[in-house]
């Protein structure tokens, strides 16, 4: 069966209230019809680095939305597999679901262990699948997937082998990450370098974010075996950056620039350019104003009521952020084709999708090459059955969003 013995939890959103209230666990329904076959990518992964020659400045875009599949109870993670299918993690169902975006069909295992859904322990959030060992030139790692879960003694990252409906050989590769009902991080992504990036929240331990020896409030960078990756700021530590409250999205652009979405407390949510060893200020600073103290300022901010950004994706022309509380797909356009690490390299944020409720994850379709004009295809997961939204018939949904320049 395709089950992980886990239950997907909902990570924290902005503000102090917990964001992991248990949602109903309806039976999985048959998927709806899907758009035309997007093809099969050469390799899997969740690095979100667009296969393109460079960045484009495209001030405005339009989006066309189609439903790929419906009836997902509280989905959380989203990743692409090598055969062109998509991997979705479910919270209360404790399942990983494989979706064929060409047909909308999917396969999933029975609830692991039977009985009632878990409420806190034994849950999973993010999922990831590596492209190649050691980066683009390395060998492929067929069938290998990674899951971020909350266990009784903390958060951990598990590596397993996926074959058909069977997920086997689950092995912890990262352990001992503090867990909490909110501020729990949980996103996994493979970078262009082939290493695994793991986001951790501060787990309601505000001081941990500034402690370089703690795993909470960080972005970690490890090998597929869980060891500190070569080139880390501290060669014996998995910590890549610190001073984070709750990062739930990481992605890379065509220049290799790393970007991350971060939940604020009560004032500002953030989009950050992540640099090795960078300190992003939490809990001393929320939003901008920390540069004088040695912190890295965000390149874009939102009021926490407008965003609560979870997953993100990067195309040739901008960054897309899935908003939970804000119930919008936000776009932050590039203002320079040369990249840059400060706010001047980015345009003003604006919403491009506003009528689908809470949004949890967004992924660039690896099977659709980006267009010379900046056009791209995204997959977006809604999150209306997570206990905080207003579910509609058919929720939650996997959407295919086609982005094209306006005008």
pLDDT of residue 203: 80
Joined tokens for residue 347: 């345009």
Which of 123, 104, 101 lies closest to 28, judged by CA? 104
**Average pLDDT score over residue span 226-253:** 97
Flag whether pLDDT at 187 surpasses 90: yes
pLDDT of residue 119: 42
d(C-alpha 186, C-alpha 216), whole Å? 11
d(C-alpha 59, C-alpha 254), whole Å? 18
More confident residue, 27 or 39: 39
Question: Sign of torsion, CA 364 47 272 253?
Answer: negative
Q: What does 188-251 look like in DSSP terms, one character per residue? A: EEE-TTS-EEEE---TT-GGGGG-TT-STTEEEEE-TTSSBPTT-SSTT--EEEE--S-EEEEE
> Phi/psi at 345 (nearest 5 deg)?
-85, 0
More confident residue, 224 or 10: 224
Residue 202 CB partners (closer than 8 Å, separation 6+) = 183, 208, 209, 216, 217, 244, 245, 246, 282, 283
Flag whether pLDDT at 158 surpasses 50: yes
Domains of the chain in start order, with CATH, are 7-12+41-405 (2.120.10.30)
pLDDT of residue 131: 57
Q: Which of 13-17, 207-211, 391-395 has the lowest mean pLDDT?
A: 13-17
Flag whether pLDDT at 25 surpasses 70: no
Average pLDDT of the chain to the nearest whole number: 83
**Average pLDDT score over residue span 157-171:** 88
CA distance to 36, 100, 389, per residue, from 84 (Å): 13, 7, 30
Taken as a whole, the chain contains a residue count of 407
The model's pTM: 0.85
**Average pLDDT score over residue span 325-333:** 97
pLDDT of residue 329: 98
Q: What angle do CA 104, 107, 112 make, to 5 degrees?
A: 140
Flag whether pLDDT at 71 surpasses 60: yes
Flag whether pLDDT at 9 surpasses 60: no
Q: Which of 66-70, 123-127, 385-389 has the lowest mean pLDDT?
A: 123-127
Residue 51 CB partners (closer than 8 Å, separation 6+) = 254, 366, 369, 370
Residue 66 CB partners (closer than 8 Å, separation 6+) = 34, 35, 399, 400, 402
pLDDT of residue 48: 46
Which residues are registered as beta bridge partners of 333? 318
| Residue % of the chain over a pLDDT of 70 | 79
pLDDT tens digits, one per residue of 102-133:
999 988 743 333 333 334 445 667 888 875 44
Question: Sign of torsion, CA 46 51 55 57?
Answer: negative
Flag whether pLDDT at 227 surpasses 90: yes
């Amino acid at each position: 069966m395709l089950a992980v013995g886990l239950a997907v939890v909902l990570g924290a959103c902005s503000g102090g209230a917990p964001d992991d209230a248990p949602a109903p666990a309806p039976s999985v329904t048959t998927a709806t019809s899907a758009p035309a076959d997007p093809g099969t990518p050469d390799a899997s992964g969740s690095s979100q680095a667009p296969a393109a020659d460079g960045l484009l400045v495209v001030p405005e875009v339009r989006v066309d939305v189609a439903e790929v599949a419906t009836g997902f109870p509280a989905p959380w993670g989203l990743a692409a597999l090598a055969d062109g299918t998509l991997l979705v993690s479910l919270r209360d169902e404790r399942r990983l679901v494989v979706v064929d975006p060409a047909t909308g069909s999917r396969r999933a295992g029975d609830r692991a262990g039977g009985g009632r859904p878990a409420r806190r322990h034994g849950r999973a959030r993010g999922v990831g699948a590596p492209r190649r060992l050691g980066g683009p030139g390395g060998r492929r790692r067929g069938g290998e997937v990674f899951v971020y879960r909350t266990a009784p003694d903390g958060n951990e990252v598990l590596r397993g082998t996926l074959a058909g409906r069977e997920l086997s050989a689950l092995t912890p590769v990262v352990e001992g990450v503090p867990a909490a009902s909110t501020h729990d991080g949980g996103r996994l992504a493979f970078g262009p370098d082939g290493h695994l990036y793991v986001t951790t929240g501060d787990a309601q331990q505000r001081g941990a974010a500034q402690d370089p020896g703690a795993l909470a409030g960080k972005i970690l960078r490890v090998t597929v075996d869980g060891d500190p990756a070569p080139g880390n700021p501290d060669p014996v530590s998995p910590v890549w950056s610190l001073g984070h409250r709750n990062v739930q999205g990481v992605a890379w652009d065509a220049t290799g620039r790393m970007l991350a979405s971060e939940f604020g407390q009560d004032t500002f949510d953030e989009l950050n350019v992540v640099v090795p060893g960078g300190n992003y200020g939490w809990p001393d600073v929320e939003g901008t104003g920390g540069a004088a103290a040695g912190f890295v300022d965000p390149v874009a901010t939102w009021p926490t009521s407008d965003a609560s950004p979870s997953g993100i994706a990067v195309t040739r022309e901008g960054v897309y952020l899935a908003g939970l509380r804000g119930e919008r797909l936000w776009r932050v356009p590039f203002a320079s084709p040369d990249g840059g690490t400060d706010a001047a390299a980015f345009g003003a944020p604006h919403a491009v999708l506003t009528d689908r409720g809470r949004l949890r994850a967004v992924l660039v379709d690896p099977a659709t090459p980006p267009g010379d004009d900046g056009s791209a295809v995204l997959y977006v997961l809604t999150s209306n059955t997570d206990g905080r939204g207003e579910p509609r018939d058919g929720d939650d949904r996997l959407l295919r969003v086609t982005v094209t320049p306006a005008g």
